[in-house]
Amino acid sequence: MTEKIRIAVIDDHPLLREGVIHTLRGQADFDVVAEGQCAADALRIAENELPDIVLLDVSMPGGGIEAARAITDGCPAVRVAMLTVAEDEETVSKALGAGARGYILKGISGPDLVKTVRNIHAGEDYVTPGLAAKLLAEMGSKASSSGAGVGPSAEMWSSLNPREEGILVLVADGLSNREVGEKLDLSEKTIKHYMTNILQKLHVRNRVEAALLAQKYLAGKVEAE
């Protein structure tokens, strides 16, 4: 029997928290093991329950980003995902820098939340697609005003072999590792191996950053043509 994905939900808005928990508990492979409303609750639950995933609100008492950093440092086996209304680039960057493996906007549908939690549990990083596009646009705007490039250099891109480049293009299109594997007739484990190499070659921390850099590089390439 497959073990259930153990989840904790931390949010200081009871109604929203209950709605998220209700959605998650409707899945046979999910087990909501704890809930809380502040950073102190989040850290205590992470240490005592060691859930697979902790969903954190950014603006809860004590600070969601601070909680994410404490959990990542103290309980590295626990994956942290932010579930929030904050859409500004600075907050997203801080959350990812604090170790969050996902950044999910609260407007997400129930089915998409379920899918995202499963993907994060499988080892993938996630940023809501619309927000990722916004981040890419803001990064491009800042780069234009500063004169600096934000995409990988041609030399960095050329370090990828044809298979890695093909995989990264699909990831930049929003496909999960499993979906990329199905499209290329490769196992999810093999795709994860390729992604590890891609992250190292592009000098980025996670697949979200890799996807954003790929989108920027490919957009620049199209414009040049």
Could you read off the pLDDT of 190-222 as tens digits, one per residue?
888 888 888 888 877 777 778 877 877 776 665
pLDDT band at 154, cuts 50/70/90?
A: low
Residue 1 has a pLDDT of: 57
Domain parsing of the chain, residue ranges: 5-127, 132-224
User: Which of 131 and 196 is assigned the larger pLDDT?
Assistant: 196
Question: How many helices, marked H, and strands, marked E, lie in the chain?
Answer: 11, 6
- The DSSP 8-state label assigned to residue 32 in this structure reads E
Record: fold of 132-224: Arc Repressor Mutant, subunit A (1.10.10)
Record: fold of 5-127: Rossmann fold (3.40.50)
- Residue with tokens 């604090």, as numbered in its chain: 98
User: Which of 99 and 204 is assigned the larger pLDDT?
Assistant: 99
Q: Evaluate if pTM is beyond 0.85.
A: no
Q: What are the start-end ranges of the E strands in the chain?
A: 5-10, 30-36, 53-56, 79-84, 102-105, 126-127
Percentage of residues of the chain with pLDDT beyond 70:
84
